Amino acid sequence: MILTGILLAVVGLGLVGWFVGRGRARLLYDGRGSMHSMPTYHGWHLALWIVVPALVVWTAWSAIQPGLVEGALMADPVAATLPADAMHRSAILAEAHMLANDPGASVFNAQSQALAAPLRAIVTRFSLIGALLVAIVAFAGGAYGFTRIRARFEARTQVERAVMGVLLLASLIAILTTFGIVASLVFEAGLFFKDVSPIAFLTGTHWSPGNARGADIAENFGAVPLFWGTIYIGAIIAMLVAIPLGLMSAVYLTQYASRSMRKWLKPILEILAGIPTVVYGYFAALTVAPLVRDFAASIGMQNPSTESALAAGLVMGVMIIPFVSSMADDALAAVPRAMSDGSLALGATRSETIKKVLLPAALPGIVAGVMLAISRAIGETMIVVMAAGAAANLSANPFASMTTVTFQIVQLLTGDQEFNSPKTLSAFALGLILFIVTLVLNIIALRVVKRFREAYE
Amino acid sequence: MSNPQWQTPEARRRLARRHASERRFKALGLGAIVLSMAFLVLLLVIMLKNGLGGLDWSFLTGSDSTSPDMAGVWGAAKGSLLTMFVTLVLAFPMGVLAAIYLEEFAPKNKWIDLVEVSINNLAAVPSIIFGLLGLAVFINTLHLPRSSPVVGGLTLALMTMPVIVISGRNAIKAVPPSIREAAYGIGASKVQTTFHHVLPLALPGILTGTIIGMARALGETAPLLMIGMRAFVATPPGGITDPSSVLPMQIFLWSDEIDKGFVQNTSAAIIVLLVFLLAMNGLAIYLRNKFEVRW
């Protein structure tokens, strides 16, 4: 609590510093060209000198304070009565912290009542020490900043340097995120591969992590059925829907539709891309899956399941249509107009021009778009979670229940099991594979698109 | 030569065939669009038919419950609002600052190339991977409270930031160099030019991209599933560290219920979510049309 108060106080001090710095600098002004920087920059400079060092100290102190409090509490005579059992001990300590923050809180262990009062005293003591430290640093920084206010002082240059630092930090977050993804996936997957060899994981055809126990653990982690299900649903069924529909929509929109028609049709098509995947999943489970099952029954299948690869793939395909369409749109638009004009001038009809000239010329861009679409489809989660099923089948029957990588990640990580079992770790191994595959697809596709654009520019 | 080669019956037939094929092709294109839109209409009609009956005041103000008649969306909607707040507060400033740096100040070197590559890739990484990151870093390493809007918001912020950076860069790129040169000409520094002139002109474009990114985050379920935002929450969350649910998660949880009454609830919640999304996208389009300057 006190720490939050300090933070606000520092910001307040910074605001005061801003006005003081600006006011002081204004007094220095005597005539045109007498100062290097505008008074506002002196204000910013002073405010930065107050806030930044104080914030650094504040962050450091909030990081070390819990440890210091813990140490002081253990030295207190009341702490001697704590049980030795680590779990019980930490439960009591947590409750004591709760009580110290809010005396009215309800707790289970009576011992925590005894600890609350000394704990509150200790926390207050250390918070006050922290507040004092922060205040000293803020005033020291402020004093130093204040002494630098001179007519010739280059406050603007200094402030702009600080701004550049902030900008650079912001752009490094993207790298940090990528690094965080790779590090966490590789680390957890590494733990998993200690138990299960990567070869067994990548080539095994039996997947039932629920049975994985003891010596034959590796035999239950064969991920091939998951890869097959992912490819079958995301890259085959979904693409059979999305490529023809998306491509033909793009052709019609770019080549045939009048300007006003295009203005209306394109945004409506894009609504399809804006619908949340959980809605598609529900649509698939509620409407499409029963239709598919009835159809399967009507063509003579025995006991068709409600959860089928076809239902999930069809709906996923619909979701991808606008994506394929807009990629194809871009690719067609990148083909120079002279090429289609030349073909039309030779007497070819529009459709002949499209089929023989435009589409072949735009092919690299379209292929790249399809690759991006596939990468999006195989990473899609909610539709398959709600419509595809949990059974790891290696089958080419579209009416069979099939499972995917993303489905299994969700399955393995929701529910309460201990975090470090091979079962939960295998989800990270699956995530790593998914990440690598989508990354490769994206990089290749982006490179193709780039080269293709350059070729026509 | 009263009967030139292109007027022979055979040539006429061939021409007719080519025109027929032309018409077929055109109809095929129109058919593709109509079919795609038929899916959209079918989806909306089914949701409206199932859900409209369940939309009443007690549904809009209630929280989750085990009985379908008592259950409402306000708890989840409040969770969504809190999560979106965290996402916006983190992703918007970071995204805009990163876009400014990359577009206006970044030197050409390997590090910056690496930043660009990672931003472009992050925009295309499956959302569930961000969920795995959130689980491993925010929950298992930093021990932030499970299933709270703060963790959800952090995770979605990492996902939304690349979208904001990319649209921000495009908006900044669209500001013509003459604006910058005019500012330099009257003695502005590079930082002053960027913040006083380029950024205000690029802001409508950046805001449009931000709203679109936020709309995507609002509909996202998979990463939140990973960080455990699927708890049964019978009271609306009071703050960003309380356990909570979000709208799409509520839809997912209800869709799993066996009780028939939840079909209506699920569809009604979907209508609420779609109305939110439509409003956000409408706002984005309005902003784009109203403030976009064609240079």
Q: Which structure tokens are listed for A439?
A: 């990354």
User: Measured between alpha carbons, how far is B213 from B157 in angstroms, rounded to an integer?
Assistant: 10
Run of H or E residues at B15 = helix B9-51
Q: How many CA atoms lie within 13 A of B180 on its CB side?
A: 15
Best residue in B132, B161, B289 for a mutation probing chain A (most A CBs within 10 Å) = B132
Residue A112 has pLDDT above 70, yes or no: yes
Greater pLDDT, A231 or B261 = A231
pLDDT at A182 over 80: yes
At A319 the pLDDT is: 92
Report the pLDDT value the prediction gives residue A143, as an integer from 0 to 100: 92
Confidence (pLDDT) at A90: 73
Mean pLDDT score, A436-442: 92
Half-sphere exposure of B277 (CA within 13 A, CB side): 24
Can you give the pLDDT at residue A214? 62
CA–CA distances in Å: residue A427 to residues A185, A207, A381, B135, B167: 9, 13, 13, 11, 33
From chain B, pick out residues whose CB is under 8 angstroms from the CB of A256.
26, 29-30
| Same domain, residue pair B94 and B16 | no
Per-residue pLDDT of chain B (295 residues; tens, 9 = 90+): 456 777 788 888 988 999 999 999 999 999 999 999 999 999 999 999 988 887 888 888 877 777 777 788 888 888 899 999 999 999 999 999 999 999 999 888 888 888 888 888 888 899 999 999 998 888 888 888 888 889 999 999 999 999 999 999 999 999 999 999 999 999 999 999 999 999 999 998 899 899 989 999 999 999 998 888 877 777 788 778 888 889 999 899 888 887 777 888 889 999 999 999 989 988 888 887 887 777 6
My answer on whether B201 and B232 are in the same domain is yes
A209-456, CATH topology level: MetI-like fold (1.10.3720)
Which neighbouring-strand residues pair with B55?
A: none
**Are residues B172 and B29 part of one domain?**
no
Q: Report which of residues A72 and A87 the model is more confident about.
A: A72
Highest-scoring range by mean pLDDT, A47-61, A109-123, B136-150: A47-61
Domain layout of chain A by residue ranges: 2-153, 209-456
Instruction: Say what the pLDDT of residue B289 is.
Output: 80
Asked whether the predicted pLDDT for residue A84 surpasses 70, the reply is no
Size of interface A-B (CB pairs under 8 A): 244
B30 and B100 part of one domain: no
Mean pLDDT of the A63-90 span = 76
State ipTM. Answer: 0.90
| Same-domain check for residues B76 and B205 | yes
Q: pLDDT class for A417, splitting at 50, 70, 90?
A: low
Mutation target to probe the B interface, by most B beta carbons within 10 A, among A351, A372, A426, A428 is A351
Distances (CA, A) of A95 to A62, A113, A168, A343, A398: 20, 8, 42, 80, 55
Residue A377, SS3 per DSSP: helix
Backbone angles phi, psi at B242, to 5 degrees: -80, 150
Do both B242 and B107 map to the same domain?
yes
CB A295 within 8 A of CB A310: no
Instruction: Tell me the per-residue pLDDT of B90-108, one tens digit each, with 9 for 90 and over.
Output: 999 999 999 999 999 988 8
Same domain, yes or no: B69 and B46: no
DSSP A153: -
| pLDDT(A215) > 70 | no
SS3 content of chain A, % helix, strand, coil (to 5): 80, 0, 20
Arithmetic mean of pLDDT over chain A: 86
| Domain at B75, CATH number | 1.10.3720.10
The CA-atom distances, in angstroms, between A319 and each of A221, A231, A234, B40 are: 31, 16, 11, 10
Nearest CA-CA partner of A328 in A266, A247, A224, A234: A247
For chain B, the straight-line distance linking the first and the last C-alpha, in angstroms and rounded, comes to 58
Domain identity same for B240 and B148: yes
Flag if A178 and B270 touch (Cβ within 8 Å): no
Give the dihedral sign, CA B57/B59/B60/B64: positive
CB count in 10 Å sphere of residue B68? 17
Q: Determine the pLDDT at residue A457.
A: 67
* pLDDT score at B237: 81
Of A163, A184, A246, nearest to B133 by CB-CB distance is A184
Determine, for residues B126 and A414 on separate chains, whether the beta-carbon distance falls below 8 Å: no
Euclidean distance between CA atoms B86 and B65, whole angstroms: 26
Q: Are the CB atoms for B269 and B73 separated by under 8 Å?
A: yes
Q: How many distinct structural domains can be found in chain B?
A: 2
d(CA B23, CA A279): 36
Strand pairing partners for A207?
A221
Domain range enclosing B268: 59-291
Query: What gap in Å lies between CA A162 and CA A155, rounded to an integer?
Result: 11
Last residue of a domain, one of B54, B69, B87: B54
User: pTM to 2 decimals?
Assistant: 0.87
Residues 6+ apart with CB under 8 A from A412: A209, A423, A424, A426, A427, A430
Residue-level pLDDT at B111: 86
Which contacts of A194-202 are long-range, i.e. CB under 8 A and separated by 24 or more positions? Answer: A195/A422, A195/A425, A196/A221, A196/A422, A196/A426, A201/A426, A201/A429
A 10 A CB-CB count for B139 gives 20
Quote the minimal CA–CA distance from A225 to chain B in Å.
Answer: 20
Instruction: Give the tens place of pLDDT for each residue, A312-366.
Output: 999 999 999 999 999 999 899 888 999 999 999 999 999 999 999 999 999 999 9
Contacts of A269 in chain B (CB under 8 A): 33, 36-37
Confidence of residue A446 (pLDDT cuts 50, 70, 90): confident
CB-nearest partner of B32 from A160, A244, A349: A244
Chain A positions in Cβ-Cβ contact with residue B22 (cut-off 8 Å): 349-352
DSSP code for A103: T
- Whether A287 and A315 have beta carbons less than 8 Å apart is answered as no
User: Last residue of a domain, which of B32, B54, B76?
Assistant: B54
